[in-house]
Structure 1
């Protein structure tokens, strides 16, 4: 059988938990067949480190403000993001989105929505894909994408919702990021989604260095996620690898 290759479509390689031993992390990933990495920022302070990683052709960067930090949004951040997008056609917009568990009241939700709209507007203006954080907000994500007329797609990462929510997001133009939740046998919703979604709508991720209770997550774990997805679907890991890589290929190239 040919060597399987994978992409980790969401890994925070600029996070200190990984960047401190970046050569070892990347070598372990390569040894496991994980050869490409989509690396988002979470806040403005991350931008420079994320962009420096993108000097490697195997790394696709994204810059944006995570909804947890919506209060940090400013005209300066908007302008810097626009400048980066204008100067580098490989850069996506992310990690952006909505997290209605973290938003404790209607004012906080509105702030997240306003920031999400502004960043979608940038992605639309520069024809870039987006990486979307969605927690308990699938309907709002889909509606905002529709209202803003954003049509360049991207990935809704670390999916944890219902099958119906996944299908809603797919109709809005997104691939569904299946990640480290799959390593938890009790994560019933994401396991159902993996079993029932069209494989053409799925990509794989780790959300490294996060999501593991007992240690630091790394991109090499994409292989474990692929193996569990294959078991749940009753197919080979090779089939999972081949199709999910085709899905990433369709996103990776410039719009």
Structure 2
């Protein structure tokens, strides 16, 4: 069994054929799904998802939409976390290539990190050219609940910093690009107990149709790089998932 730890199921490309998408994934052994939000407008639709394959949802404000945050947003997110024990916080983080002001991104990330700590929830972290800033904030906020560094594409040194703070490293669709050398190095070299698999579907592959079923292909590449079986990789990834969930129990 594999879990796609990052799939945007309410995106129109997936939402309007969800039974087909879920069945295709299950047919290749992808039977668990984690569904993150991006903007406040996603929250209600994600909370209404009822597919039994959804192991958790993540509610939060993506750094691209950080300027949507209002004073009442904090109260709304707090209420959702109170009422939904399987809700993580995400997709949150920093994107220093985006035109949303950095100070706004940092402020909104800090507020959400504090709520995640308050409710003992893992987080899903969006990170573009911001590893040092993210690590500094996580340390400063004394965040201990861990989570997933989504769509990792950095160096082994960057990954190890996050691993020391109880995060798993999301290995995803970038691995399907043979030119993505850093991702291949990470998939091959990081401790097995520090990785999880994800697609970021329907994104990351604009020329193709990206769905949770692609976890199978990603897993086969990782297993080949590590010299292990797909079945052994699945068992380790499941242990890693359970480790994350235990932080919120």
TM bucket, shorter chain: over 0.9
Alignment partner, residue 101 of structure 1: 97
Report the Cα offset of residue 56 of structure 1: 2.9
Superposition map of 1:101-140 within 5 A? 101-103=97-99, 108-140=101-133
- The TM-score normalised by the length of structure 1 is 0.94
Report the Cα offset of residue 55 of structure 1: 5.9
Task: Number of aligned residue pairs: give it.
Answer: 248
Residues 57 and 179 (structure 1), Cα distance of their counterparts in 2 relative to 1, 3 Å cut: closer
Which of the residues 74, 77, 83 maps onto 2:79?
A: 83
Report the Cα offset of residue 98 of structure 1: 0.5
Report the Cα offset of residue 71 of structure 1: 0.6
Report the Cα offset of residue 65 of structure 1: 0.2
Residues 103 and 146 (structure 1), Cα distance of their counterparts in 2 relative to 1, 3 Å cut: farther
Alignment partner, residue 211 of structure 2: 218
Residues 185 and 170 (structure 1), Cα distance of their counterparts in 2 relative to 1, 3 Å cut: same
Structure 1 residue ranges (4+ consecutive) displaced by more than 4 angstroms after TM superposition: none
In structure 2, list runs of 5 or more residues that go unmatched: none
Alignment partner, residue 153 of structure 1: 146
CA contact (8 A) 2:35 2:54 kept: no
Cα deviation, 1:82-141, whole Å, max 9, x if unaligned, reads: 11001111111000001111147xxx1111111100000110111111011011111111
CA contact (8 A) 1:96 1:132 kept: yes
RMSD: 1.3
Report the Cα offset of residue 12 of structure 1: 0.4
Q: Does residue 54 of structure 2 align to residue 58 of structure 1?
A: yes
SS in 2 for 1:53: coil
